[in-house]
Amino acid sequence: MNTGVIYASLAYLAWGLFPLYFRQLVGVNPLEVVMHRTLWSLVFLLVVLFFLKRWAWLRTVARQPRVLAAFALSAALLTANWLTYVWAVQNHHLLDASLGYFILPLVNVAIGFFVLHERPRRGQWLAVAVATSGVLWLAVQAGHPPWIALILACTFGAYGLLRKVGTLGAIEGLTLETLVLAPVAIGVLAFLSWQGHSAFVQGDATTLGWLLLGGPLTATPLLLFAAGARRITLTTMGILQYISPSLQFAIGVWLFHEPFESARLVGFALIWLALLIYSAEGWRMGRLRATA
């Protein structure tokens, strides 16, 4: 199996289980959660780089302002995505968040086709068409524009594109992103502490432990995602991405007991059918290549 498929699948599996983590922090301001994720991810990554002894890329970035600007933009997109997702989970909108990540593959396919000039096969186009119909059905059933879903899909789709064409590796790129965000995170956390609203001021030891754990929990799947994105097409990334929202959907319905009308099941069924079509088409092409 392509190692990129393995990396991407593990990343999406981890993201699918993330709601279980964020529910442990339901009493913490979403902005503070995101800032803690940023800082502790940076600490975790710096430790990894220390043991790997990979620092030469810093000189390259210092001589190329465009690279720094590109990763500053990807860091901003990542922050917007994190903040929206944490707010959605904490405010009982996990199903809306899962819809966003069901829309994301359509965004990835569009970016791959129009920006990177990728050419999906006919079976992949059929899978995308079936998934599109399912997403449209879900949007109609909601009765209003799915703002949470659209923000999540667009921010992470654009982030994926920037990381795919970026000049830095997975670890270096994520380190630079969190390094760019670190001054903002420190400033926000200092302000919240000064106001007396920070978890560092009011939280107990368990809450602080969950916040510290956010570093490795955040960095690891992002590294897997970045490594996978550089090895496989955006179309393939888009279909594998269904692992994450399917898990989020299951958690939202059966663990968090969020309301789920039976009519919405039609949309989710169409999306799962799209995944089945894509998987069958990929298996068939793999057999043909092996025969050749």
Q: Is the dihedral of CA 59, 62, 64, 67 positive or negative?
A: positive
The per-residue pLDDT of the chain, averaged, comes to: 86
Predicted confidence (pLDDT) per residue in 164-189, tens digit: 777 888 789 889 999 999 999 999 99
Q: What is the mean pLDDT of residues 30-46?
A: 94
Q: How confident is the model at residue 33 (pLDDT cuts 50, 70, 90)?
A: very high
Q: What is the mean pLDDT of residues 145-151?
A: 85
Amino acid 105: pLDDT: 74
Amino acid 128: pLDDT: 82
In this structure, of 103-112, 214-223, 258-267, the range with the lowest mean pLDDT score is 103-112
Task: Pick 291 or 86 by higher pLDDT.
Answer: 86
Q: How confident is the model at residue 235 (pLDDT cuts 50, 70, 90)?
A: low
DSSP 22-53: HGGGTTS-HHHHHHHHHHHHHHHHHHHHHHHT
Q: How confident is the model at residue 35 (pLDDT cuts 50, 70, 90)?
A: very high
Q: What is the mean pLDDT of residues 151-169?
A: 87
* Highest mean pLDDT pick, 15-29, 133-147, 220-234: 15-29
The reported pTM is 0.85
**Gap between the Cα atoms of 246 and 264, Å rounded:** 14
Asked if the model's pLDDT at residue 190 lies above 70, the reply is yes
Amino acid identity, position 89? V
Q: What is the mean pLDDT of residues 30-55?
A: 92
**Gap between the Cα atoms of 176 and 223, Å rounded:** 13
Q: What is the mean pLDDT of residues 103-112?
A: 79
Asked if the model's pLDDT at residue 197 lies above 90, the reply is no
**Greatest CA separation for the chain:** 67
Q: How confident is the model at residue 1 (pLDDT cuts 50, 70, 90)?
A: low
Amino acid 234: pLDDT: 64
Q: What is the mean pLDDT of residues 139-161?
A: 85
Share of the chain above pLDDT 70, in %: 98
Q: Is the dihedral of CA 94, 96, 102, 106 positive or negative?
A: negative
Rounded to an integer, what is the distance from CA 43 to the centroid of its chain? 20
Half-sphere exposure of 219 (CA within 13 A, CB side): 29
Q: How confident is the model at residue 124 (pLDDT cuts 50, 70, 90)?
A: confident
**Gap between the Cα atoms of 252 and 231, Å rounded:** 32
Task: Pick 4 or 166 by higher pLDDT.
Answer: 4
Predicted confidence (pLDDT) per residue in 204-233, tens digit: 888 899 999 999 998 899 888 878 877 887
Share of the chain above pLDDT 90, in %: 36
